Chain A
Amino acid sequence: MTKIEIDWNKEVELIGPKLFRFFTVFFSSEESADLVQETLIRLVRKYKNKKIDFEKGNLKNYSFGIARFVRLENIKRYAKNKETNLDEMDERSIEIESDDIENKITLKEEIKTLKKAINTLKEEQKQILSLLLDKDLTLLEISEIIEMPIGTVKSHIHRAKSELKKILGIY
């Protein structure tokens, strides 16, 4: 495999926030920050051990693949704090870029409600939704990351959307 020189500072700036959003669907901000760090460290090690094939995928896709496993490994670890964490993330850790305070509060509430709704969905649907948060990921890339046929991914998306609309009262 050809080793490509990488500007890691730039990659962290690009990939870090995407991974962070992926994790914050399931964990608090502090936990998510730790999990992003763990994911990035594993990504660096993979790169150093020449296990990244840039012909098969870019660094971002590899990082999401790793993030999936990091999330599964840590679900149990953080599970006992789950209820507390959902409240914590509402109050302290959600930062919204907005000058309008009223808008900020509304948005915080929306985010809180959305996260709770997503956490009631099935595991596969949760994973797919958390990947969909990255607007740049195509369905094909998502299907490769979670190792699922694209037809199945679309099916899960359709069902997740119906469920969310039911929970959130969107018609």
Chain B
Amino acid sequence: MDDRDKELDKIIDPLRKEDINDFYIKRWQKNVADELEISRKFNLKNFFFVNMKLATATIAGFVLGALIFGNTEFFQENNQMVKNLDDSATVEYIFIKID
């Protein structure tokens, strides 16, 4: 629907005759291309960064878990403590004579 004011269009028409330097267009095209390139590189970098964090956290979790629960002495001691706290647990007194 052409509802523009033709009289006003005629008044401002000289402003449309201002030419654009080709140099500007090429500069804009180059900067847009650079921006697209940055975005592409950033996305790849971001992808690896996020997945590296996940992988590192998983590995660290396994290592910690192995250190804590893989250590049988530690596990056994704690297991013993749980047994002692049980209601059915009995107590043994051992007396040692020291000379």
Contacts and interface: CB of A to CB of B under 8 A. Distances in A.
Interface of A: 8-9, 12-13, 16-17, 20-21, 24-25, 29, 33, 36-37, 40-41, 44-45, 48, 94-98, 107, 110-111, 114-115, 118, 129, 132-133, 135, 138-140, 154, 157-158, 160-161, 164-165, 168, 170
Contacts of A115: 15
A63 to B, nearest CB: 11
Q: How large is the interface on B (under 10, 10 to 19, 20 to 34, 35 or more residues)?
A: 20 to 34
A32 B61 CA distance: 55
B9 interface: yes
Contacts of B91: none
Closest 6 CB pairs of A and B: A95-B19, A17-B20, A110-B14, A161-B8, A48-B39, A44-B35
A129 B31 CA distance: 28
B18 A37 contact: no
Given A33-B24, A138-B1, A157-B5, A97 B19 contact: yes
Contacts of B15: 21, 24-25, 111, 114-115, 133
Contacts of B32: 8-9, 12, 40-41, 44
Interface string B3-34: 11101110110111111110011011101110
A139 B12 contact: no
Nearest to B19: A95
B15 to A, nearest CB: 6
Interface of B: 1-5, 7-9, 11-12, 14-21, 24-25, 27-29, 31-33, 35-36, 39
Contacts, number: 107
B42 to A, nearest CB: 9
Nearest to A150: B3
B35 A21 contact: no
A118 B8 CA distance: 12
Contacts of B29: 8-9, 12-13
A164 B20 contact: no
Contact of B21 (A95, A133, A161): A95
Contacts of B8: 129, 132, 157, 160-161, 164
B7 A161 contact: yes
Contact of A21 (B2, B16, B36): B16
A139 B2 CA distance: 8
